[in-house]
Amino acid sequence: MNDLPSLEELRRGVRQSGLAWRGAFRPEPGDAVPACADGSPARTVVLLGVVGGEQWPAFAASAELADGAPQPLDRWSRRLVDALGARYRATALYPSDGPPWWPFQRWAMQAEAVHASPLGILIHPDWGLWHAYRGALAWPDEIVLPPRDLRPSPCASCRERLCERTCPVVAITPAGYDAGACVAHVASERGSHCLRQGCQARRACPVGADYRYGAEQAEFHMRAFLGRR
């Protein structure tokens, strides 16, 4: 394709859109990446999202948040990712599509140095637990990509395991995450601090501490977790 964008052009466009570049990869059969809009197999996928609080001011000032309709973050993300897809002739994909749901966590681990954590959230060596994926762009052509970031998981060298010990209802256990206990606590009066400040187990992790969500951003996500937004 003659007008295939370069990596530098894509990075610049993503930054200008208000989203964060979250890595790229070449799909393999086991990655379950769907065909592009023209029916061709995807050969390049770029992930888009947010890191820390960098994108929060743009969303906080958006029409989607102000209009009071459901799912403002999904609608804001779609507007931005759809525009990038149209600009660069790519197929847009979203973690909110489904069922069936696209395996964004699997794609993320192909695209950048993120790893599973005890909380179920992918952990990044720089951003810690303070990041998210809001969409992806897929092309049937190969865009030249940088070498894959192979940094190991910060959890592998962690000895204190503060995330596992800080949860007030011990929802993080060796057997897995007890979502029911977490939801019940956050929805209760005793869990008001978690509701307003964010998950205490997540905040206890020292990796990426400078990128922790502010109170407004944290409460938005906790209310969404409870199904209130």
pLDDT in tens, the chain (229 residues): 457 899 999 999 999 999 999 999 999 989 999 999 999 999 999 999 999 999 999 999 999 999 999 999 999 999 999 999 999 999 999 999 988 899 999 999 999 999 999 998 999 999 999 999 999 999 999 999 999 999 999 999 999 999 989 999 999 887 888 888 999 999 999 999 999 999 999 999 999 999 999 999 999 999 998 885 4
Q: What's the domain range around 175?
A: 158-225
Distances (CA, A) of 40 to 30, 33, 140, 195: 17, 11, 6, 44
pLDDT at 2: 52
* Same domain assignment for residues 128 and 216: no
Number of structural domains, the chain?
2
pLDDT at 1: 46
Beta bridge partners of 50: 132
* Same domain assignment for residues 40 and 105: yes
Burial readout 136-154 (b: 16 or more C-beta within 10 A, e: otherwise): bbbbbeebeeeeeeeeebb
pLDDT at 228: 58
* Same domain assignment for residues 118 and 78: yes
- pTM, two decimals, is 0.93
* Same domain assignment for residues 70 and 34: yes
DSSP 94-145: -TT-TTTTP-HHHHHHHHSS-B--TTSS-BBTTTBT-EEEEEEEEESSPPP-
Beta bridge partners of 24: 46
pLDDT at 38: 95
* Same domain assignment for residues 117 and 165: no
Structural domain ending residue among the three candidates 73, 106, 139: 139
Q: What share of the chain is helix, strand, coil (3-state, %, to 5)?
A: 40, 15, 45
Inside any domain, residue 147: no
Inside any domain, residue 75: yes
Q: What is the dihedral of CA 124, 127, 131, 133, to 10 degrees?
A: -50
For the packed helices 72-88 and 7-17, what is the interaxial angle rounded to 10 degrees? 150
Quick: pLDDT tens for 181-206. Answer: 999 999 999 999 999 999 999 999 99
